[in-house]
Amino acid sequence: MRTIGHFIDGVESNGHSTQFQDVFNPATGEIQARVALATPADLEAAVASAAAAQPKWAATNPQRRARVFFNFVALINRDMQELAELLSAEHGKTVEDAKGDVLRGLEVAEFVAGAPHLLKGEYTDGAGPGIDMYSMRQPVGIGAGITPFNFPAMIPLWMLSPAIAVGNAFILKPSERDPSVPVKLAQLAVEAGLPKGILNVVHGGKDVVDGILAHDKIEAISFVGSTPIARYVYGAAAQNGKRVQAFGGAKNHMVIMPDADMNKAADALMGAGFGSAGERCMAVSVAVPVGEGTADRIIEALRPRIEKLKVGPASDKASEMGPVITKASQERIKTLISSGVSQGADLVIDGRDFALQGYENGYFVGPTLFDHVTPEMDIYKEEIFGPVLCVARASTYGEALNLVMDNPYGNGTAIFTRDGDAARDFAARVNIGMVGVNVPVPVPLAYHSFGGWKASAFGDLNQHGTDSIKFWTRTKTVTARWPSGIKDGAEFQMPVMK
């Protein structure tokens, strides 16, 4: 059986690991590999490798570092099909969806090839008598990323690309559920010219996470996962004096105004609600039609689309939606669907009994649609992270807006309308970090920043865009005066620029 090791100092190996975890094929339920779980000695080896390599990498001029990323991008493009198939086999999403996972991460690697420009500081000539002032951005040293199972290519690339491009070394702790792609990306980075030790990958659970949070040589940490764990990571890392950004869960709403094109809105809900089996932090899990007529029309438009949705394994090119990641996830989603029924929601389409011949042991849940969902129900309050779409009817635009704003999460939201005034008002007033206008999944492109509000994000700086350059660097400001500008005698008053 294939064993997936750590990637430390440019080499994949099991290191000191004595424990291993099974990696399943979600479509069949079969064990397809095992992954080594790091010991404290493995984490120490990764940190030591990073610490030895980082000073020379930081001293490498930014343009030369950028060339490594040009090569890295080319290699990812070269191996795109292999990466997508590897990702699909462990995660369960379709191959085309997996390619999108890789591509959205690739865009950030492309963006940080412009780091030489992004790292330019500021300069003021003659700020005072004989005084010049300038600022520079310098790497923090060693950074770490803790990433979830649902995007095993995209989110690691979102973290490691800016961190490394600005001169840091990086330790990646990916999900142990689908660990192969992060190791493959590290191998490609070394092939692209990245010095050994600058990117290390260690696998493991909470003990490894806690080791990262406490390690005195790790200066900055980026995390993506559930809100309870994001809170924990943020608090523990901050208490240990580290810079930290921690991104949590979501409950994303899509408001549908009466003037919206119902066919386009329904198509948008299908992709946003059921793409990747709903296992996206930006998935739309709540549709909010304004008015009873709008609600009836969107349900009418959704029903035949859901009934025709092709659910199957990634190996079937006709599949539009695959399984969820684990048996435990499958059971949790089914339990939440049952709670929706018992708490009074109307179950329009039930995916609990979905079965696929030849894949009876796979972790499939059929697409599920609820109507008349209300905020006190568990299916509304919890992030289901599965192919379940809830319709929560609103009588007015104001009621719909308040429903979105009252939710504790603030990752993404969207409005579908032809009314520019409504769209502009919604975008301006809603307390959500990412907003789509006739765009159901408003994930920004790499040169803008990604991040939510409220219980969806902890920390001041977002992922990718210029925020990522700021997060992975520290600003140093220099005030310089040369002998010709220095007066004789001590100065005891507060310095001022006259």
% pLDDT > 90, the chain = 95
Domain range 2-248+456-478, CATH architecture:
3-Layer(aba) Sandwich (3.40)
Per residue in 249-283, pLDDT (tens digit) is 999 999 999 999 999 999 999 999 999 999 999 99
Q: Is pLDDT above 80 for 154?
A: yes
The arithmetic mean of pLDDT across residues 13-34, rounded, is 97
Side-chain half-sphere CA neighbours of 133 within 13 A = 8
Angle formed by the axes of helices 180-191 and 80-91, nearest 10°: 160
pTM: 0.96
State the Cα–Cα distance between residues 451 and 467, nearest whole angstrom: 10
pLDDT tens by residue, 195-236:
999 999 999 999 999 999 999 999 999 999 999 999 999 999
Consecutive H or E run containing 253: strand 252-256
pLDDT at position 427 is: 98
Distance CA(459)–CA(277), nearest Å, equals 29
Q: Which of the following is catalytic: 199, 268, 281, 333?
A: 281
* CATH superfamily of domain region 252-437: Aldehyde Dehydrogenase; Chain A, domain 2 (3.40.309.10)
pLDDT exceeds 80 at position 479: yes
Q: 278-295, pLDDT tens digit by residue?
A: 999 999 999 999 999 999
In this predicted structure, what is the pLDDT of residue 322? 97
**pLDDT class of 491 with cuts at 50, 70, 90:** confident
Residue 495: is its pLDDT beyond 90?
A: no
For residues 116 and 139, what is the distance between their CA atoms, to the nearest angstrom? 13
Higher per-residue pLDDT: 481 or 78: 78
Residue 333's contacts (CB-CB under 8 Å, 6 or more residues apart) are 324, 365, 384, 385, 386, 387, 388
Closest CA to 291 of 200, 391, 376, 148: 391
pLDDT value at position 310? Answer: 97
> Contact, 314 vs 299, CB < 8 A?
no
Following CA atoms 359, 360, 362, 368 in sequence, which dihedral angle do they give, to the nearest 10 degrees? 110
Is there a catalytic annotation at residue 390? no
| Structure confidence by residue, pLDDT tens digits, 43-53 | 999 999 999 99
Q: How far apart are CA 198 and CA 10, in angstroms?
A: 9
Distance of CA 242 to the CA centre of its chain: 20
What are residue 253's DSSP bridge partners? Answer: 286, 413
Q: Residues 368-397: what's their mean pLDDT?
A: 98
Q: How far apart are CA 139 and CA 136, in angstroms?
A: 10
**Least confident segment among 23-32, 118-127, 443-452, 485-494:** 485-494
Compute the chain's Rg from CA coordinates: 25
At residue 498, the pLDDT reads 61
Domain ranges of the chain: 2-248+456-478, 252-437
- Interstrand relation of 243-247 and 457-458 (parallel, antiparallel or unpaired): antiparallel
Distance CA 436, CA 441 (A): 7
Edge-to-edge order in the sheet of strand 473-481: 123-128, 131-139, 473-481
> In the predicted model, what is the mean pLDDT of the chain?
96
